[in-house]
Amino acid sequence: MLTLLMTRPRAAAERFVARLAPDLRDRLRVIYAPLLDIVVLPDPVSLDGVRGVIFTSANGVAAGVVAGVHPALPARTLPAYCVGDATAEAARRAGWTVNDCFETADALVAALGDRCPQGPLLHLRGVHARGDIAERLTAAGIKTRAQALYDQRLVALSDAAHRALRGDDPVIVPLFSPRTARQFADAARGPAPLYLAAISEAAAEPLVNMTHSALIVADRPDGAAMAAAVERLSDQASRVEGPRTAQ
């Protein structure tokens, strides 16, 4: 039987598995083995003077709720700019008015740089973040500051994950960030055929030197494209394409 090894935090992993096609889920044994623990930080957050908020992950929205960060102005005057559909949906559920949703951080920076919305803007994010959004927007003339609401602390690979990797059955592993990809590459040992899906080229980079049967990069950096990648890998693994290769 095929194993799907989910390395995202549990809630996000369960949402991802739920979006897979039912017939695909029926073919998979799912192991939840988060490589990150999301820890909300105690620092207070002020929205005084802020004219817009940037969210780049659903974790940022959720951490804001825990920290008591809610729209302090009428929603129509305090827009939220989001990266990713899941982030935008989380922001809407938390009460924010989502003005725009962008596929990537680069797309957000480019679009806001063209529109020049009135600042200051506040990017609510994790300790470990890519893209330098606040710095790039400020350099473009849109005053923006960033505040970390949560930390993404690395977690060791679980015993259940190690057992699967020591077995003979194919293991499909979707990896959603360069940090978790590096953590997985450093920890994974065993003969199980690996079918790896990376959300971006940056996330694929730590994986290329692993022994694997397949490594693909999602067509877009979002959950739908990663689900499609998992389905492709499942089809490949089911066909038993041949021996693993060291890339």
Domains contained in the chain, CATH given: 2-35+156-246 (3.40.50.10090), 38-152 (3.40.50.10090)
Q: Is the peptide bond before 120 cis (omega within 30 degrees of 0)?
A: yes
Q: Is the pLDDT of residue 245 over 50?
A: no
Count, residues in the chain: 247
Query: What pLDDT sits at residue 66?
Result: 75
Q: What is the pLDDT of residues 132-191, one digit of tens each?
A: 999 999 999 999 999 999 999 999 999 999 999 999 999 999 999 999 999 999 999 999
Query: What pLDDT sits at residue 169?
Result: 94
For residues 112-118, give the mean pLDDT: 90
Q: Are 84 and 222 in contact (CB under 8 A)?
A: yes
State how far the Cα of 40 lies from the Cα of 56, in Å rounded to an integer: 16
Mean pLDDT check: name the lowest of 21-25, 94-98, 196-200.
94-98
For residues 43-52, give the mean pLDDT: 86
**The two three-digit tokens of residue 22, written as one number:** 């039912």
Q: Which residues pair with 217 in a beta bridge?
A: 198
Q: Is the pLDDT of residue 73 over 80?
A: no
Indicate the average pLDDT of the chain. 89
Query: What pLDDT sits at residue 231?
Result: 96
Q: Are 206 and 228 in contact (CB under 8 A)?
A: no
List helix spans (H) across the chain: 10-18, 22-26, 58-66, 85-93, 105-115, 133-139, 159-165, 178-187, 201-204, 223-239
Query: What pLDDT sits at residue 76?
Result: 40
Q: Is the pLDDT of residue 77 over 70?
A: no
Query: What pLDDT sits at residue 110?
Result: 95
User: How big is the CA angle at 13 (ends 9 and 19), to the nearest 5 degrees?
Assistant: 160
Tell the burial category of 189 from Cβ atoms under 10 Å away from its Cβ (0-12, 13-18, 19+): exposed
